[in-house]
Structure 1
Amino acid sequence: MSAPVCRAKFKLTQRNENSAGYSLSFEPVTTGSKENDEFFKWTPWGKVEIGTINPEAANGFVVGGEYYLDFTPAA
């Protein structure tokens, strides 16, 4: 039996370049569409910050863009 997947929707609020690479900051969506209103009911508050040294990966995210974040249990 597979474990359930929990899906959240986040918006990229900042993309910064520094000496260590790139820092990407995401916050949960709150408004902007009917779907976002629905996600906001179930998505916890918080912030996700990730880093990468790969410019191609960092540039694949657009500030203001919305992204799904899926949580699945690791076996």
Structure 2
Amino acid sequence: MNRIQILFGYLFVTSLFYSLFWFVDFFVTLNLKLIFVVLLIIVILIFKIKQGTSRQNPFSFHVSFRNAH
């Protein structure tokens, strides 16, 4: 009886860890995808703002960006 309980306990713990790792892996990949999309959007926005302000002053956006942070 004890051996069977230990075996079931071991199986339960391993399945629990496996599901936990699966959830972590899923959320990490999801977060990485979201971060990648956000970074892509930010880069596109900066590129468009640079194109818009390049005729006036290319350093105006950089100065305001540095002051903001």
TM-score bracket for this pair, using the shorter chain length? under 0.3
Give the structure-2-normalised TM-score: 0.22
Q: Which has the higher contact order (CA 8 A, sep 6+)?
A: 1
Larger strand proportion, structure 1 or 2?
Answer: 1
Instruction: Name whichever structure is richer in helix by fraction.
Output: 2
How does the TM-score come out when normalised to structure 1?
0.21
